[in-house]
Structure 1
Amino acid sequence: MKTSDFYFDLPEELIAQVPLKERDKSRLMVLNKENGEIRHRNFTDILDYLRQGDCLVLNDTRVIPARLFGVKDTGANVEFLLLKRIDKNRWQTLVKPGKRAKLGSRFVFGNNDELTGEIVDLAEEGTRIIEFKYEGIFEEVLDELGNMPLPPYITEKLEDKERYQTVYSKNTGSAAAPTAGLHFTETLLNKIRDRGVKIAYITLHVGLGTFRPVKTENILEHKMHSEFYMVSKDAAELINATKVSGGKIISVGTTATRTLETVGTNDGLIREGNGWTDIFIYPGYEFKVIDGLLTNFHLPESTLIMLVSSLAGRENVLKAYNEAVKERYRFFSFGDAMLVI
């Protein structure tokens, strides 16, 4: 299967640059995964597609202000994106420009030397391992000096950092938001609970894979980067009870989907635990756990559109995406949503 099989033409003006004033006022395209039927709804209409006894699974990761701007000891400016924590003081980072971050290079962050760092190792895909030195608590220093790591296709300044967090974000560690969850409000979540729908929270910290395009023409040659997940005993029991009783598992986002399918067993149940996953889901994959998926509209030729296509069929998904372009849906992180069910 070729990467180009997942291309669609997207006008640049449809890329949402800022979030809507109200989270749940986005549009919702509903795609029937069996016959490809498309319905155009509003996001709050998701209530019409959830039934008593179903379970909505949310990724409660919280984005850290992972973009740091440093000054090299030569005076050169360098941008760092924190991707993965190695231990207390060392992080795997994406560096721009990489040529300024050679082994042994030192950097200062902030105006008062609150944070310094040294490149101590080279890692996969040109990333660097940086060791930080600081006074106090690293998370507090990062809150002070770091910036929200918005995707490169968003060029507008984000006025409110919390709009790149879900209202239920809890466990810090992501380099990007699980954007399908950005549409929910506490009020809407309470209405969903009132319908008798269970809500389970799992965690996957989004890393480098979100920023990495598919560069191989044969998708089987693409390598996914590993990301850390956590599935609690309570979440596993809730999801498994739903499966046993005949309810549907609706995954909110591709990150939650990848986590559930990683910990899923052949009988459709899941196991609790923590670990790393590099699962790559593309057409031909047989889902073990999820029955439906809520997601945003993704980049052409991305692993994310491949995942959606594996659930609903490539032709159905590309037809839906072309319909979304025609109907002027908003795309990507701050855009509208699609429910595949």
Structure 2
Amino acid sequence: MHPKDLNIADFTYELPEEKIAFFPLAQRDASRLLVYKAGTMTTDTYQHIDQYIPEHALAVFNNTKVVEARILFKKPTGGQIEIFCLEPHEGYADITTAMAQQGTVQWLCLIGGASKWKSGQVLSRSIPGPGGDTLLEARFLEKRNDSFLIELSWTPASLSFAEVLHVTGQIPLPPYIKRVAEAADEERYQTVYAAHDGSVAAPTAGLHFTHEVLQKLDQKKIQTDFVTLHVGAGTFKPVKAEVMNDHEMHAEFISVSPQLIRNIAGRREHPLIAVGTTSLRTLESLYWLGAKLLRDRHCFDNGIPYINQWEAYEEALQQYPAHAVLDALIAYLSEKQLTSLVAKTQILIAPGYRFKMADALVTNFHQPSSTLLLLVAAFIGSDWRKVYAYALEHDFRFLSYGDGSLLWRAH
């Protein structure tokens, strides 16, 4: 069956609210770890994850950084309007460029209380700081299908937009964590290796890793490396269509270094482990980007490299060996004199998908009827039901602040 024909009702389960983690554990790596391999399951904690990964494996993490994307404005009448910054206007080359803008920027946003925002009205707020006040203004530009285009401007204009968000915004907890963000969330809803501003949701599989756990991986000669995928709010977008053909997958920016591509190409028989679904999506997208180059070396000449949600299921792109597509990407970056591969991916990984890169996946437990659950089902097959039933029966904590799993794919 083609994934377009999948019925989302076949990928659900009963998730009691008491199984959802509304707060993180006091210690990151004390989170429980379910290890699934060849149909068997083991329970441990993230403190010992190194014991379940062989020497010389390559573990790839997503080093995106969550930005304070929720901004609250008060109208002169006292009403409150919330602006949730989703992604930059399409005129910017990528999220990093937009985050570096000074003085003004245009952003696609969700608006809480949009009906109270009259046309032409400028919202403003002033935040005192040690270096003086920061004044932020918001102007409504246009309504899009599922968002609003807003122009944000500020003084001092020398500040970057990332700095402005840090001063004026709040960490955007997922919608199913039904509480107000606290000061502790600024640190805990962020990985210890977060480096590049741009996400509105954390790559949650990485929240369990501490510097001590990373050191254990290094001591065992498990190589670690990083990709950057800026997680959008679309990761929480529910699948409302009955069949997947009618669901539009969200697109996200990725950035990958030539060195990582060379590391993957040189791993030979050693396993490749994706830490998080975002890392997995990025690694698998590399294959299809390289396959497109092999089919047409000029395919990216007129725009940013892009993978749409169904391209991974085209038979014409399935034929290339992994080493050939990685070589094509390395050659492309060298020819264009690029220090990183920046692209957008809309890839939808669902049962029927043929994995090309990743051998194992570290991931949390996901919402019923979600594209993330489809990805897990594609990775380990129908055993996803056994894994989730086991996790529920053994009191694992679910969703972003919950426990997680190490899933090995059957080859």
> Matches of residues 202-213 of structure 1 in structure 2 within 5 Å?
202-213=227-238
Structure-2 residue corresponding to 1:95: 111
* 1:159 is aligned to 2:183: yes
Structure-2 residue corresponding to 1:286: 354
* 1:305 is aligned to 2:376: no
Structure-1 residue corresponding to 2:240: 215
d(CA) in 2 for partners of 1:317, 1:30: 12
Structure-1 residue corresponding to 2:140: 119
d(CA) in 2 for partners of 1:292, 1:119: 45
Bigger drift between 225-234 and 55-64 goes to 225-234
d(CA) in 1 for partners of 2:271, 2:182: 36
- Distance of aligned partners of 1:286 and 1:40 in 2 relative to their CA distance in 1, 3 Å threshold: same
Structure-1 residue corresponding to 2:342: 274
Question: What's the TM-score, normalizing by structure 1?
Answer: 0.93
- Distance of aligned partners of 1:102 and 1:231 in 2 relative to their CA distance in 1, 3 Å threshold: farther
Structure-2 residue corresponding to 1:14: 19
Deviations 1:164-195 (A, max 9, x none): 11000001100110000000011110110111
d(CA) in 2 for partners of 1:185, 1:217: 40
For the 8 Å contact 2:228–2:254, the answer to whether it is kept is yes
Structure-1 residue corresponding to 2:83: 80
For the 8 Å contact 2:162–2:197, the answer to whether it is kept is no
Structure-2 residue corresponding to 1:128: 148
For the 8 Å contact 1:69–1:78, the answer to whether it is kept is yes
SS in 1 for 2:388: helix
Bigger drift between 78-87 and 221-230 goes to 78-87
Structure-2 residue corresponding to 1:321: 388
Deviation at 1:312, TM superposition (A): 0.3
Structure-2 residue corresponding to 1:67: 70
The percentage of aligned residue pairs carrying the same residue is: 38
For the 8 Å contact 1:20–1:26, the answer to whether it is kept is yes
Structure number with greater Rg is 2
For the 8 Å contact 2:134–2:155, the answer to whether it is kept is no
* 1:4 is aligned to 2:1: no
Structure-1 residue corresponding to 2:404: 337
Structure-2 residue corresponding to 1:106: 122
Match of 1:190 among 215, 222, 225: 215
For the 8 Å contact 1:293–1:339, the answer to whether it is kept is yes
Structure-1 residue corresponding to 2:46: 43
For the 8 Å contact 2:284–2:357, the answer to whether it is kept is yes
- Distance of aligned partners of 1:316 and 1:338 in 2 relative to their CA distance in 1, 3 Å threshold: same
Deviation at 1:317, TM superposition (A): 0.6
d(CA) in 2 for partners of 1:278, 1:74: 42
d(CA) in 2 for partners of 1:109, 1:240: 50
Long gaps (5+) in structure 1: none
Bigger drift between 73-82 and 59-68 goes to 73-82
SS in 2 for 1:81: strand
Question: What's the TM-score, normalizing by structure 2?
Answer: 0.78
For the 8 Å contact 1:30–1:40, the answer to whether it is kept is yes
Equivalences, count = 335
Deviation at 1:60, TM superposition (A): 0.2
d(CA) in 1 for partners of 2:247, 2:170: 30
Match of 1:247 among 270, 275, 293: 270
Structure-2 residue corresponding to 1:228: 253
What is the root-mean-square deviation in Å for CA atoms of aligned residues?
1.7
For the 8 Å contact 1:72–1:105, the answer to whether it is kept is no
SS in 1 for 2:266: helix
For the 8 Å contact 1:71–1:109, the answer to whether it is kept is yes
Deviations 1:312-338 (A, max 9, x none): 01x211121111111110001110011
SS in 1 for 2:33: strand
d(CA) in 2 for partners of 1:27, 1:227: 29
d(CA) in 2 for partners of 1:238, 1:102: 53
SS in 2 for 1:173: strand
- Distance of aligned partners of 1:278 and 1:98 in 2 relative to their CA distance in 1, 3 Å threshold: farther
* 1:27 is aligned to 2:48: no
Q: Which amino acid aligns with 2:170?
A: N
For the 8 Å contact 2:235–2:250, the answer to whether it is kept is no
Deviation at 1:26, TM superposition (A): 0.6
Long gaps (5+) in structure 2: 1-5, 93-100, 128-132, 291-319, 330-339
